Chain A
Amino acid sequence: MGPKKLKSVSYAKYGYIFSIPFVLAFLIFTAYPIFYTAVIGFTDLKGLGKTDFKFLENPLQNFEAVWKNPSFQKSLENTAIIWICNFIPQILLALLLTAWFTNQRQKLRCQGAFKVLFYMPNIITAATIAILFNSLFGYPLGPVNDLFQMLGIADGPTEFLRDKWTAKGIISFIQFWMWYGQTMIVLIAGVLGINPALFEAAEIDGATSRQVFFHITLPSLRTIMLFTLVTSLIGGMQMFDIPKLFLNGGPDSATLTVSVFIYNQAFSGSYLYNRAAAACMILFVIIAILSGILFYLLRDKDAGKLKKQMRELKKAQKAARRAEA
């Protein structure tokens, strides 16, 4: 190969080649099953062991049935409430800890140990956590009840897990507690990627830690925050393990999430695969719309920056080519 042929065009094919494994795995293990699910949503497939199905005369019948289903509506509401109650404190705490751990002026001791420990709740399985929290909030005897009575907060035992709002609150708390460590790790990674020159400049200008955080760190974290927001939104909309294992959607459907609803449609007795599939697709569309909104809201500046970056990259490649020549 002569140096003349080392043009960017000749490398472009590697962009395709290196993407092939991802695309193939996606097509086989995700796209095909989704397609299958989507098709089922338009059919009469229900009941056990059935493989033959026919398309419904009204193709949207299942979608309508799910959309108008009071339990589905409630599950959407619950999912939204639980996600918001978990995500807002989660991102706030993660940001606060990020600010503390990346503060160059006031270094905390044992930072490393804290970072490592904060991720740990994520290691333990959801089933274990469900059992432990069930016992913690036991009624009429249980550690939390004992504590409340000891501290004089309550006169008698409280049935936490039968109250709709405490049940939702506890699930939000579990989600918050399991995930803030991971969010913090990702956010710290984002902060470390900010150009140090920005911080140095701020230092020279005499900015306080607070000013640095709000005027440099936060705006620079936009992309990473978007990533966190979107992944957490998707994770939150799919929330299944804890609501299912902890209270099985109860009390009185207060912790019934969309995923638990889908599971119940398919497996709690009637094998309504078609309705479950329709609910899956509705969930997908909702997530796509919400994510789209997030992308749109946080979009403009990024797009500009991206273009600029692409220009820089092209420039660098040109320079490299020139250097080669």
Chain B
Amino acid sequence: MKRILALVLSVAMLFTLAIGISGCGGNEQTPASPDSSAPAQQTSSAPADTSTPAPEVSDDPNVKVLNLWSFTDEVPKMMDKYKEIYKQRTGQDFPYEIKTTIIATTDGAYQPALDQALASGGADAPDIYCVESAFVLKYTQGDAANYAAAYKDLGIDVDRLLKESEIAQYTVDIGTRPSDGKLVGLGYQATGGAFIYRRSIAKDVWGTDDPAVIKDKIGPGWEKFFQAAEEVKQKGYVMLSSDGDLWNPVRNAAEKPWIVDGKLYIDPAREAFFDYAKRLKDNGYSNDTTAWTDAWYADMKDAGPKKVFGFFGPAWLINYVMAGNSGGSKPGEGTYGDWAICEAPVGFFWGGTWVLANKDTKIPKTVGQIIEWITLDSSETGLQYFWANGTLEGPGGTKDTVASGAVMKKSDGKLDFLAGQNMFDVFVPAGEFARGDNMTQYDETINTYFTDQVREYVNGNKTKEQAIADFKQLVADNLDVIVE
């Protein structure tokens, strides 16, 4: 009996092998992947190919469909406006059918599908695809960077437009491919971060809520920040809600990325987070919540154990998270209108979407025009003007910071939530302080391991040395990175 079973199984295996060989056949011409052992290194601070002008490009007239891949409906929705603008500008209907594919980033499903679509090519391959800050490096500088088209090869006059639109440097750094120094991706939203604080608490502690004064109380640098935390505590408040709030600016202030020459590197600025988080907890400077949990949201409307002085975040945190959780919708209700923003002790950015094009697109001209409209058009019919003023879907929408400083300078960023403060005044310089040259495509994973170990240390479960050793072990166990 056993022999028969063995026979059946071996026949089955042979059979599958046959399928395997015949199935593998036609798959040799996929683009060679870039060297994965060389993850994102520090990029040059500007695209290196400044001298060559953008070439003339043209579309394949046989192609009628434009494939757009995204993980939210944000960019697909912009296309409706683009068609409208296209008609205004050219007097003709937009000649392509836009086929959008939206796959949520939930459970990491977007990336495998996108990777496969890029690798397979063909008529259904994406022409334009969006990537999120958590995994943008993989597509602009890491394993998947070779699928991206240089903006210049799409006929975009990159050098002139970058200057004209005043695009924040960190976005350019992230969107520049190190292998050839070419720009392959830019965003439309600026995600430079500020310190968002409570006016009433500022008045109680320092007698003023003026951002210019508060800025100098909480920074620059973390020593001044902790001094301020002590003063805030004396009055019965806490400085922050969670240590996670502190991590975002600390993380972004590092000189060097997590991986240098293929080896794990713990930047002193990041290692210091062990001490900052410990100080925060031991001195009671925070409510000890976890970001994105009920207790954290509750702190935005004074529902926590102690009133929280501030949060670190970009404009989207104000618009999409804090405003709704402030317990009101107009000044006087809840904490709505009792907030202001000022420069953070260190510059940072958090989140954002980058727009890329497939180098094999058959319609580079059209793709280039769309990408230019989204990322580099600083005119009043460019996407970013609508986006900044909240008028993409008619007046009264949410105002947001945009990649182009030029657009923000001519837009109105006054928010009732900030008691009429013009948020662009702070967010434009904030974008300039942020750094995009200290990231790797592994950041999301490494950051999780790191903060998890910091919490172990802060909660007294481990010594700092043990936590660092365990962190290194986790990286070595799970990633293709040399750990010493």
Direct contact of A and B (CB under 8 A): yes
Set of chain B residues within 8 Å of A267, measured between Cβ atoms: 108, 111-112
Q: Mark A12-51, 1 if CB is under 8 A from B, else 0.
A: 0000000000010001100110011001000000111111
How many Cβ-Cβ contacts under 8 Å join chain A to chain B? Answer: 122
* CB closest residue in chain B, given A24: B15
**In the complex, which residues 1-45 of chain B have their Cβ closer than 8 Å to any Cβ of chain A?**
12-13, 15-17, 19-20, 27-28, 30-31, 33, 36
> Is there contact, CB below 8 Å, between A141 and B455?
no
> Is there contact, CB below 8 Å, between A48 and B294?
no
Set of chain A residues within 8 Å of B17, measured between Cβ atoms: 35
Interface magnitude class on chain A: 35 or more
* Distance, CA A180 to CA B294, complexed state (A): 30
A235 CB–B CB distance under 8 Å: no
> Is there contact, CB below 8 Å, between B452 and A269?
no
**In the complex, which residues 439-459 of chain B have their Cβ closer than 8 Å to any Cβ of chain A?**
441-442, 444-446, 448, 452-453, 455-456, 459
B429 CB–A CB distance under 8 Å: no
> Is there contact, CB below 8 Å, between A49 and B479?
no
A59 CB–B CB distance under 8 Å: no
> Is there contact, CB below 8 Å, between B36 and A264?
no
Set of chain A residues within 8 Å of B480, measured between Cβ atoms: 46, 270, 272
A69 CB–B CB distance under 8 Å: yes
> Is there contact, CB below 8 Å, between B441 and A71?
no
Set of chain A residues within 8 Å of B293, measured between Cβ atoms: 134-135, 138-139
B255 CB–A CB distance under 8 Å: no
* CB closest residue in chain B, given A267: B108
Q: Which of A208-216, A220-228, A249-257, A294-302 has 4 or more CB atoms under 8 Å from chain B? A: A249-257
B295 CB–A CB distance under 8 Å: yes
Q: Is the interface of B mostly helix, strand, loop or mixed?
A: helix
A246 CB–B CB distance under 8 Å: no
On whether A265 and B478 interact (CB within 8 A), knowing A32-B20, A141-B298, the answer reads yes
* CB closest residue in chain B, given A272: B480
Set of chain B residues within 8 Å of A51, measured between Cβ atoms: 27-28, 30, 119
> Is there contact, CB below 8 Å, between B288 and A140?
yes
Known: A32-B16, A252-B461. 16 other contacts (CB 8 A): A23-B12, A28-B19, A31-B13, A47-B33, A48-B36, A49-B31, A49-B143, A51-B30, A70-B477, A134-B293, A138-B294, A140-B288, A141-B295, A251-B452, A251-B455, A269-B442
Residues of B within 8 A of A (CB): 12-13, 15-17, 19-20, 27-28, 30-31, 33, 36, 106-108, 111-112, 115, 118-119, 138, 143-144, 147, 287-290, 293-295, 298, 303-305, 441-442, 444-446, 448, 452-453, 455-456, 459, 461, 470, 473-474, 477-481
Q: List 22 A-B contacts (CB under 8 A).
A: A27-B16, A32-B20, A46-B36, A46-B480, A49-B118, A49-B144, A51-B28, A52-B28, A70-B473, A138-B295, A140-B287, A140-B295, A140-B305, A141-B294, A245-B107, A251-B455, A267-B108, A267-B111, A267-B112, A270-B442, A270-B478, A271-B36
